[in-house]
Structure 1
Amino acid sequence: MSNAKPLGYDSLKAVLPYMKVNQRYEMSYRMPSLKHLDKLLPSRFDCVEFDFCQTRVNDTTYRLGLVRQYPEGYDVPMSHKQENDEGGKGMDMTEHGFDQMLYRHVITPGDVDIAPGQLIPQDGRVHDDNRVLYERHVQAYEKALALRLEQGDEPSNNDPIGNEGYDQLLGINLLAGAREKRLLRHVLQFSTGSIRKKLEDYKAKLVPFHCREHNTPLPFVPMIQLTVSSPEGTKIYRHAYNMKLQEAMKELNTKLFGNRDGVHHISSLILKQPVMVIRLPVGFRVTVGGLSIAGAPNLNLKALQSFAEESSYPIKMLEMTGRFLRIVDYDYPKVKSARTLIIENGPQVLDLLPFIRSLQNQNVIFKCHVSALQAQQQVILVENWIDSEMEIGRTLSLELLGMPSVRYLLSQIELRFLGNRGHENMVIMPMRNGNNLQVTCIRLNNLPPRHDLANWRIEMKVVPGAEEEEY
């Protein structure tokens, strides 16, 4: 029999701030007496990620979506079943079943628009012109089904019919007969079952038009679904669709972060989208260790100031994953002051060398395809570092995808710069300022190879010179 005694109030008060926040949620739910104490103490989060209709807290993801709940035994259209299986759509729905955008201009107290004035892609508006296109598809697939039934199913493809560009043929400027002929040629490769499922999908797209025209009810009930995914498994909760998804997101994040005193700490904060509104509770304040952004820093980092304490700066680690950033974006003061800067894609320029040389952060990790920074350019970059006055501890890591070999790079810098092999994939060479430059090549096994070529990390690090080591 265990002699362990339950923790007292003071002990719990000391322990709770250091517990994983998901465990605190669970304890507060199971032990209502802890709720008051839990809300008095700030939380420490290893990771918080904000996305459209989704929030991840450490290793638990909370995702909201709109699902279509059909009656028992109903033959659910394939696309609707797939959307339901994936947790629902991240868009609201009109009373007749049309998709409706999450209106970003509806900003409530506490909300953070991370890119004010920018357009949200794929706004979900349905134009009446689509009705004609859907009706054409229904007619074409009905003809395909009749032809397939005449021909028989052998041999035929039982896979689901994807779009693959063929479905768009009925909407482009070709002669009507040619459009339909090309579509039928593609569709008739598939079985009767596959064609029938695709036909039902297009009929389902017409349902909102019919419901609006005849003021008839939808064949399903829209429901808000919360999907909670964690290492322990997945739990699904459904709620009546009596609020907009943005309102449900606000309520969810208030449950996760609201009504708690103090300034919380987030070790790694991830803003997954370049343009979105984060629905946060009023008074939510944090300090941030590491940050990942997908948009322009002058917008994303400025918006962050509304809930991040000034003590978060300079940022310890900043990751920039945006695909269309400009060189000027990396010149933003809070980017330049980050201790470690991770660049996922880099600016769209012909020559990356001047850009990489311009980065003055203590540690830089640059990820790109090897075609953007070939071996000779890598050698030039090593030469630039050797001739520089960089201080001990400065690092640059190049994560190069699709690199055939590191032998050429290592042999070139060993011969040209009087380097010594520390081991097979490391060369150490003297710098002009008396320090040494250590270049290490590490094969990345956590990334899939490209065209049977390996992925490598080329690490350049300034280390003490021989005299300093002896001293």
Structure 2
Amino acid sequence: MNSKPLTYDSLKTVLQYMDPNTRLLLSSRAPSIRTAEKAVPLKIDDLQIRNHSIKVNGTEYRYEIYQVDCKDKIPYRVSGECELNGNWVCDVNEFGVRDYIAKYNCVVPGNNRFQNQNLFGDYDDEEIVTHYGRLKKLRSILAMEKQQYEQLKSHQPENDPISREEKQGCFEMFKSIRRNIARVYTNEELEIRHDDEYTGSDLEPLKSEKVVKEAIETAGKRIRQMENELLPFENKINNIRPKFEIHLTKNKEIRYL
């Protein structure tokens, strides 16, 4: 069966009444229709423009910056809201330093008299004047986190039967301890332990294997985030320029009748 292509005027008519998301998709995939597509008004019922996303009639297009040459081969999202410190990132420089830091001459945030959060989202009262001094402090915090992570992996829970509510409560109790990375344990807590280890009382909320597994996953995720937030400063020191890409994702809103 022979088929004839639409004439220019017919194509314009079809495009005019086509769903805008389908039309955008066709235009991106078929260069031959772009001239006609640009000549026809695009009718959109609901258009929402937000930070890093555009929503067209319930379909959202998100664009994010990812570092794609990470050591673990897993692309790491650097734009948007940082889970560690809550800062919003729209761009990075050639080394990966976030824009909210780059505008202050790429100096590591925190550890100043203004009580600002450090790179990991913690409030540290110790005042450190120099950039490299703050980097050194952050490296020590990361090293402590890794030691605590290893201690978690070797922890043997009692496997007490607990309900879902108790499990959630135990995990939240444990997370509240973990967030205070820089705290100093009391002598009673330390006993024969070092400052960089969890105490028995710290690990007490981890009463089941499920809670321990969740704690290990959370700690591992946090360590990866901490490493990736420190990485741009290490890149700058070593003159390494990582590879970044802008990824576009499409999500259609599900409407229930």
Scaled by the length of structure 1, the TM-score of the pair is 0.33
State yes or no: 1:177 paired with 2:185.
Answer: yes
| 1:62 Cα deviation after fit | 1.9
CA distance in 1, matches of 2:96, 2:48: 30
* Cα contact 2:144–2:196 (8 A) shared by 1: no
Tell me the equivalent position of 1:11: 10
Tell me the equivalent position of 1:217: 240
CA distance in 2, matches of 1:41, 1:136: 60
* Cα contact 2:58–2:252 (8 A) shared by 1: yes
Taking a change above 3 Å as real, the CA distance of residues 200 and 136 of structure 1, as seen in their structure-2 partners, is same
Tell me the equivalent position of 1:238: none
State yes or no: 1:23 paired with 2:22.
Answer: yes
CA distance in 2, matches of 1:35, 1:45: 18
Tell me the equivalent position of 1:43: 42
Q: 2:72 aligns with which of 72, 75, 79?
A: 75
* Cα contact 1:70–1:76 (8 A) shared by 2: yes
Taking a change above 3 Å as real, the CA distance of residues 101 and 24 of structure 1, as seen in their structure-2 partners, is same
* Cα contact 1:92–1:102 (8 A) shared by 2: no
CA distance in 2, matches of 1:102, 1:62: 27
State yes or no: 1:127 paired with 2:109.
Answer: yes
Return the letter of the residue paired with 1:169: N
CA distance in 2, matches of 1:125, 1:100: 11
SS of residue paired to 2:65: strand
Greater relative CO, 1 or 2 (CA 8 Å, sep 6+): 2
* Cα contact 1:169–1:183 (8 A) shared by 2: no
Taking a change above 3 Å as real, the CA distance of residues 51 and 182 of structure 1, as seen in their structure-2 partners, is farther
* Cα contact 2:101–2:108 (8 A) shared by 1: no
State yes or no: 1:205 paired with 2:229.
Answer: yes
| 1:39 Cα deviation after fit | 1.6
* Cα contact 2:151–2:197 (8 A) shared by 1: no
| 1:228 Cα deviation after fit | 2.9
Taking a change above 3 Å as real, the CA distance of residues 15 and 204 of structure 1, as seen in their structure-2 partners, is closer
Tell me the equivalent position of 1:398: none
SS of residue paired to 2:96: coil
| 1:142 Cα deviation after fit | 3.8
Tell me the equivalent position of 1:288: none
State yes or no: 1:227 paired with 2:249.
Answer: yes
* Cα contact 1:21–1:45 (8 A) shared by 2: yes
CA distance in 2, matches of 1:46, 1:140: 53
Taking a change above 3 Å as real, the CA distance of residues 32 and 163 of structure 1, as seen in their structure-2 partners, is farther
Tell me the equivalent position of 2:122: none
Return the letter of the residue paired with 2:34: K
* Cα contact 1:13–1:37 (8 A) shared by 2: yes
* Cα contact 1:66–1:90 (8 A) shared by 2: no
Higher Cα radius of gyration: 1
Taking a change above 3 Å as real, the CA distance of residues 187 and 16 of structure 1, as seen in their structure-2 partners, is same
SS of residue paired to 2:94: coil
CA distance in 1, matches of 2:50, 2:174: 27
Structure 1 unaligned residues grouped into runs of 5+: 104-123, 232-444, 447-471
Greater strand share, structure number: 1
Return the letter of the residue paired with 2:236: R
CA distance in 2, matches of 1:162, 1:69: 35
Taking a change above 3 Å as real, the CA distance of residues 32 and 164 of structure 1, as seen in their structure-2 partners, is same
CA distance in 2, matches of 1:151, 1:40: 66
Return the letter of the residue paired with 1:205: E
| 1:51 Cα deviation after fit | 0.7
| 1:48 Cα deviation after fit | 1.2
Taking a change above 3 Å as real, the CA distance of residues 52 and 163 of structure 1, as seen in their structure-2 partners, is farther
| 1:45 Cα deviation after fit | 0.8
Taking a change above 3 Å as real, the CA distance of residues 51 and 230 of structure 1, as seen in their structure-2 partners, is same
Return the letter of the residue paired with 2:229: K
Taking a change above 3 Å as real, the CA distance of residues 225 and 163 of structure 1, as seen in their structure-2 partners, is farther
CA distance in 1, matches of 2:46, 2:39: 21
CA distance in 2, matches of 1:34, 1:65: 28
| 1:136 Cα deviation after fit | 4.6
CA distance in 1, matches of 2:107, 2:174: 20
1:210-289 equivalent positions in 2, closer than 5 A: 210-213=234-237, 215-217=238-240, 221-230=243-252
Count of aligned residue pairs for this structure pair: 200
| 1:13 Cα deviation after fit | 3.7
Taking a change above 3 Å as real, the CA distance of residues 200 and 163 of structure 1, as seen in their structure-2 partners, is farther
Could you tell me the percent identity over the aligned residues? 21
* Cα contact 1:16–1:41 (8 A) shared by 2: yes
Tell me the equivalent position of 1:427: none
Scaled by the length of structure 2, the TM-score of the pair is 0.54
* Cα contact 2:174–2:202 (8 A) shared by 1: no
SS of residue paired to 2:36: helix
SS of residue paired to 2:142: helix
